């Protein structure tokens, strides 16, 4: 009843036509990779996630991870699934080969991530954070740290965390107060309280590797005085023995959703830590971790929306209510035959595929930025990742929440009843616009940091690429006429908004337009990916699945893309309308 | 112990497949998957091989295609595969299939042959027994538990009431029922290794068969017609007026369920 089918053909299609996987497999370092092997891996990973992880989603919501006598206890089903995951080696696919990883392209691990996240969002956060910890540790120079932790993190026998937030330091990380005092043996003693630590404590793995931000004595205030430390739950001796460290979980949060994921308050009391890289440069390293995690959170938006869509579709085909126009008299129609329900399902399908295009483009660009033989291409790809990361995170999670809400709406009153199980998708997905940098922060990042990169060249090149679709659209015939018309209009508006933001001197005006601009950007970019996929589908042949690609892009162009055009006024309105009322005027009057 | 496991590549059951209109044969795409019921045979074969330091060889008769289904079984841990793939085999019935598989298994040598009870695309359910007849060895069926040691095969044979314990001398053929063990999931390493494992492709001629011995020409079976499964009838709705349980009891009695 709660089953999930990995949309394997969609994933492969995007890998082929957005990521250009075949080209990626020719890069240095991927000599052992070919498209057939990737296909074989994805087929087996899909079966594993559907059969082993997807069934744990509901129990994770109902039972959740619990705090019992100072310990975090996960559901038994989680423990069993985790063991199977570690044994099967799925965590290692894209990991560094020097430490037992498969050395596969990032996009391949990303595709497996989509499957796992859709199977169980709360659970998937554990390997997701572990993956981020692997990236940070692999990038830093200390060989001892690598040797101690990487192999076990790659297999997921140990798991990783990101430890930033404190009660007074949320979005404003620079305000954190956790201290790091030097010890005689060259290590550091970490003391402080951290909150909102996802999978900060649990019973799945032998050891947990915390990556902790803290302040060294005399450090400058703000983000420039923060250093990064590795603080293991158990300190590992030379002989592999474990010694307790001064870190403990004091409580876990009661949350709206993702009940399977323990969100911990961690107390560090002179916990032994090792500095990562150089002092005061912690935010730089952490950003590496966060940027990767931000795209993965964007993927969560898609993954939960996809699962909500599948369930809504099944319900709409079975549920009989009313008689659709044109149905025989006295016959009750499945609700999928009613126009409003069709609109909801098409909207979900179209946004899902648009999100997948954007997200996998970022993931494929990560591979190009690391492995392409030409350094000009590598740099351009890195810039593309930087530009698109806030859009991938914020647009996909905002849209993701909306899609789970629509999925619930398709179920009518039954959707609001917890037993139906779709409310969980809505509740789970609601965290995604918040964590890993709120979507408001992402919009600020986009307009203040990303648009001005290289004097605006990066964004202009990206927009020019979308403009380049006009010629193939013109040649592609009448089925593509609406796509061509609507994409051109939306792109004209996005270019105008971009120019306006880049030319604005008052940062208050730029910030005021940030959120509607990000929405507009995501909507246009998403449409462009659908168009690209539709053009590829038209070339590939005529089976019903390929024809659906064209029809879905056409729907998006006519029904969803025009919403971007309507946002131009909001982008250019400036700060004045937001501040027209003072806080007193916002308060209720009697 | 040398263990032969019969494994079939079939069109993905998740997507509808076609029968060709002239002969009603399954149209086989290039990408076929491992028949799910064969995972149980592979699993039991692997367990027996692990216990006896033996080997597992897969035997399959089908268009090789991309070999995806065979690679799936190799990824679980089987050592190698023998695939008999030949256009001349098209249209072979169960009897010919058994004859061809027997020849390939005989050629390779074996102590035990394991097969599923029936395939998910054809459902004839007679190939393993015919195979045993060709090989001239005992045929044990519907095993839900298999032990093999000291030249003896011992199985728990599923029956409607429970199970019989059945023994035979090795070599022998045994069919295993689906769902009796938990087939292992291929590991990432297993999938990578499967790429390197040997897959021997044989033609009918390699096994000494002429064009008339196999395929439609060699088969005694002709499928005369195929009819779609009739649509399910609408169920009976019992409105609860407080005494619906009586009505339900009556229905259950009529259906001889109680």
pLDDT tens-digit series, residues B73-88:
999 999 999 999 999 9
Q: Answer yes or no: is A346 within a domain.
A: no
* ipTM (interface predicted TM): 0.85
- Residue of chain A nearest B14, judged by CA positions: A5
Residue A421 DSSP symbol:
S
pLDDT band at B231 (very low <50, low <70, confident <90, very high): confident
Find chain A residues with C-beta within 8 A of B191's C-beta.
37, 40-41, 44
Which of A96, A129, A155 is the C-terminal boundary of a domain?
A155
Does the structure show a pLDDT above 80 at B236? no
In a domain, A377, yes or no: no
Name the minimum distance, in Å, from the CA of A160 to any CA of chain B. 21
In chain A, which residues have their Cβ closer than 8 Å to the Cβ of B187? 87-89
In order of A40, A534, A567, B11, B222, the CA distances from B17 in angstroms are 21, 25, 47, 7, 20
Residue A248 lies in a domain: yes
User: Is residue A429 included in any domain, yes or no?
Assistant: no
Express each pLDDT in B166-192 by its tens digit.
Answer: 999 999 999 999 877 899 999 999 999
Residues A111 and A201 in one domain: no
Is A322 part of a structural domain of the chain? Answer: no
Rounded to whole angstroms, what are the CA distances from A18 to A24, A304, A364, A376, A530?
Answer: 11, 21, 8, 20, 10
Note the Cα A56 to chain centre separation in Å: 21
**Residue A4: which of A124, A106, A86 has the closest Cα?**
A124
> In 3D, which of A339, A351, A336, A350 has the Cα closest to residue A401?
A351
Best probe of the B interface among A5, A39, A89, A95, by most B CBs < 10 A, is A89
Task: Say whether both A232 and A111 belong to one domain.
Answer: no
Residue A492 is part of which domain span? 439-576
Q: Given an 8 Å threshold on Cβ–Cβ distance, is B185 in contact with A93?
A: no
pLDDT at B132 over 50: yes
Q: Which residues of A touch B192 (CB under 8 A)?
A: 37, 102
Same domain for A115 and A192, yes or no, is no
Contact A24, A38 (CB under 8 A): no
Same structural domain, A207 and A257: yes
Residue A183 sits in the same domain as residue A233: yes
* Domain end residue (candidates: A98, A129, A155): A155
Rounded mean pLDDT, B234-253: 84
A139 shares its domain with A177 = no
Contact A48 B185 (CB under 8 A): yes
Task: Determine whether the interchain pair B186/A36 forms a contact, defined as Cβ–Cβ distance below 8 Å.
Answer: no
Please identify which of the residues A436, A465, A542, A559 carries the catalytic annotation.
A436
Q: What domains are there in chain B, each with its CATH number?
A: 2-218 (3.40.50.620)
The pLDDT value recorded for residue B233 is 77
Contact call for residues A210 and A234 (beta carbons, < 8 A): no
Q: What is the CATH number of the domain that holds A87?
A: 1.10.540.10
The DSSP-derived string for A367-417 is HHHHH-S-HHHHHHHHHHHHHHHHHHHHHHHHHHHHHHHHHHHHTTHHHHS
How far A85 CA lies from chain B's nearest CA (Å)? 9
Q: What is the pLDDT of residues B133-152, one digit of tens each?
A: 999 999 999 999 999 988 99
**Catalytic site residue A168?**
no
CATH number of the domain where residue A238 is located: 2.40.110.20
Establish if A423 belongs to a structural domain.
Answer: no
Domain tally for chain A?
3
Residues of A within 8 A of B188 (CB-CB) are: 41, 88-90, 92-93, 102
CA distance B203 to chain A (A): 25
Q: Is A18 in the same domain as A127?
A: yes
Whether A142 and A208 share a structural domain: no
Cβ <8 Å between B68 and A43:
yes
Rounded to a whole number of angstroms, the distance from the CA of A314 to the nearest CA of chain B is 15
Any domain includes A288:
no
What does the pLDDT average to over B89-107?
A: 95
Instruction: Look at residue A1 in the predicted model and tell me its pLDDT.
Output: 43
Token pair of A106, please? 């990032």
Tens of pLDDT, residue by residue, chain A (590 residues): 458 999 999 999 999 999 999 999 999 999 999 998 999 999 999 999 999 999 999 999 999 999 999 899 999 999 999 999 999 999 999 999 999 999 999 999 999 999 999 999 999 999 999 999 999 999 999 999 999 999 999 999 999 999 999 999 988 889 999 999 999 999 999 999 999 999 999 999 999 999 999 999 999 999 999 999 999 999 999 898 999 999 999 999 999 999 999 999 999 999 999 999 999 999 999 888 888 899 999 999 999 999 999 999 999 999 999 999 999 888 899 999 999 999 999 999 999 999 999 999 999 999 999 999 999 999 999 999 999 999 999 999 999 999 999 999 999 999 999 999 999 999 999 999 999 999 999 999 999 999 999 999 999 999 999 999 999 999 999 999 999 999 999 999 999 999 999 999 999 999 999 999 999 999 999 999 999 999 999 998 889 999 999 999 999 999 999 999 999 999 999 999 999 999 999 999 98
The b/e string for A355-364 (b: 16+ C-beta within 10 A; e otherwise) is: bbbbbbbbbb
Q: Does any CB of chain A come closer than 8 Å to the CB of residue B171?
A: no
**A194 lies in the same domain as A251:** yes
Would you give the distance in Å from CA A315 to the centre of its chain?
27
SS3 A323: coil
Cβ of B185 within 8 Å of Cβ of A52? The answer is yes
Q: What is the pTM of this model?
A: 0.91
Asked whether residue A115 falls in the same domain as residue A242, the answer is no
Whether A65 and A168 share a structural domain: no
Residue B191 and residue A92: Cβ atoms within 8 Å? no
- Picking from B14, B66, B191, the nearest residue to A41 by CB comes out as B191
- Comparing A132 with B241, the larger pLDDT belongs to A132
DSSP characters over A433-486: TTSSS-HHHHHHIIIIIITTGGGGHHHHHHHHHHHTTHHHHHHT-GGGHHHHHH
The whole-angstrom separation of Cα B29 and Cα B11 is 7
Do A508 and A556 reside in the same domain of the chain?
A: yes
In a domain, A267, yes or no: yes
Last residue in a domain, options A119, A136, A155: A155
* pLDDT at residue number B26: 86
């Amino acid at each position: 009843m709660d089953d999930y089918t990995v949309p394997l053909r969609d994933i492969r299609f995007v890998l082929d036509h957005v990521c250009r996987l075949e080209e990626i497999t020719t890069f240095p370092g991927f000599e052992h990779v070919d498209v057939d092997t990737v296909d074989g891996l994805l087929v087996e990973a899909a079966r594993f996630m559907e059969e082993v992880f997807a069934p744990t989603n509901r129990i994770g919501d109902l039972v959740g991870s619990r705090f019992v006598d100072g310990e975090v206890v996960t559901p038994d089903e989680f423990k069993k699934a985790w063991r199977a995951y570690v044994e099967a080696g799925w965590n290692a696919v894209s990991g560094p080969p020097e430490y037992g990883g498969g050395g596969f392209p990032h996009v391949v691990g990303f595709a497996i991530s989509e499957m796992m996240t859709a199977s169980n969002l709360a659970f998937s956060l554990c390997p997701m954070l572990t993956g981020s910890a692997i990236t940070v540790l692999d990038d830093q120079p200390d060989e001892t740290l690598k040797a101690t932790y990487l192999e076990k993190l790659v297999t997921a026998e140990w798991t990783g965390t990101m430890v930033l937030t404190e009660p007074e330091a949320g979005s404003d990380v620079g305000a954190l107060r956790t201290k790091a005092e030097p010890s005689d043996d060259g290590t550091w003693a970490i003391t402080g309280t951290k909150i909102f630590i996802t999978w900060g404590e649990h019973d799945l793995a032998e050891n947990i590797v915390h990556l902790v931000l803290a302040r060294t004595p005399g450090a400058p205030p703000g983000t420039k005085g923060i250093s990064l430390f590795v603080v293991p739950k158990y300190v590992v001796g030379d002989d592999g023995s474990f010694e307790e460290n001064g870190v403990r979980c004091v409580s876990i949060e009661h949350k709206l959703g993702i009940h399977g994921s323990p969100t911990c308050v961690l107390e560090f009391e002179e916990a032994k830590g090792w500095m990562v890289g150089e002092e005061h440069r912690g935010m730089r390293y952490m950003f590496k971790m966060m940027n990767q995690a931000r795209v993965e959170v964007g993927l969560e938006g898609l993954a939960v929306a996809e699962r909500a869509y599948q369930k809504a579709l099944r319900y709409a085909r079975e549920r009989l209510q009313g008689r659709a126009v044109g149905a025989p008299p006295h016959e009750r129609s499945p609700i999928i035959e009613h126009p409003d329900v069709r609109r909801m399902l098409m909207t979900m399908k179209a946004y899902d595929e648009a999100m997948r295009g954007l997200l996998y483009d970022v993931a494929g660009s990560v591979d190009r930025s690391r492995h392409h033989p030409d350094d000009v291409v590598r740099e351009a790809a890195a810039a593309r990742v930087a530009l698109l990361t806030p859009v991938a995170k914020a647009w996909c999670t905002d849209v993701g929440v909306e899609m789970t809400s629509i999925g619930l709406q398709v179920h009518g009153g039954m959707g609001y009843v917890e037993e139906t199980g779709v409310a969980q998708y809505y509740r789970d997905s609601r965290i995604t616009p918040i964590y890993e940098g709120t979507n408001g922060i992402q919009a600020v990042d986009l307009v203040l940091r990303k648009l001005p990169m290289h004097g605006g060249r990066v964004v202009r090149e990206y927009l020019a690429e979308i403009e380049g679709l006009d010629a193939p659209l013109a040649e592609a015939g009448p089925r593509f006429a609406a796509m061509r018309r609507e994409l051109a209009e939306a792109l004209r508006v996005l270019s105008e908004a971009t120019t306006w933001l880049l030319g604005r001197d008052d940062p208050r005006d730029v910030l005021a337009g940030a959120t509607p601009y990000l929405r507009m950007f995501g909507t246009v970019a998403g449409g462009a990916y659908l168009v690209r996929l539709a053009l590829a589908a038209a070339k590939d042949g005529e089976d019903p699945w390929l024809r659906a690609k064209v029809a879905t892009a056409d729907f998006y162009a006519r029904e969803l893309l025009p919403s971007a055009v309507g946002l131009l006024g909001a982008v250019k309105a400036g700060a004045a309308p937001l501040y027209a009322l003072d806080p007193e005027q916002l308060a209720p009057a009697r | 112990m040398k263990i032969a496991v019969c494994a079939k590549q079939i069109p993905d059951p998740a997507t509808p497949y076609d029968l060709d209109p002239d002969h009603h044969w399954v149209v086989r795409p290039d990408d076929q998957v491992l028949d799910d019921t064969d995972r149980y045979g592979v699993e039991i074969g692997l367990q027996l091989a692990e216990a006896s330091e033996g080997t597992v060889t897969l035997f399959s008769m089908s268009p090789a295609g991309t070999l995806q289904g065979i690679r799936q079984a190799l990824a679980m841990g089987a050592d190698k595969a023998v695939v008999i793939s030949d256009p001349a085999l098209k249209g072979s019935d169960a009897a010919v299939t058994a004859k061809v598989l027997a020849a390939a298994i005989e050629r390779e040598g074996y102590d035990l042959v394991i097969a599923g009870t029936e395939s998910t695309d054809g459902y004839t359910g007679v190939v393993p027994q015919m195979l045993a007849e060709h090989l001239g060895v005992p045929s044990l069926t519907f095993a839900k538990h298999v032990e093999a040691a000291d030249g003896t095969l011992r199985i728990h044979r599923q029956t409607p009431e429970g199970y019989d314990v059945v023994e035979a001398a090795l070599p022998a053929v045994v069919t295993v029922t689906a769902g009796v063990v938990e087939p292992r999931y291929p590991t990432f390493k297993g999938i990578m290794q499967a790429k390197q494992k040997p897959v021997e492709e044989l033609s009918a001629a390699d096994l000494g068969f002429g064009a008339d011995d196999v395929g439609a020409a060699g088969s005694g079976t002709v499928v005369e017609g195929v009819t779609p499964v009739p649509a399910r009838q609408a169920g009976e709705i019992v409105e609860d007026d407080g005494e619906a349980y009586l009505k339900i009891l009556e229905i259950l009695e009529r259906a001889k369920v109680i």
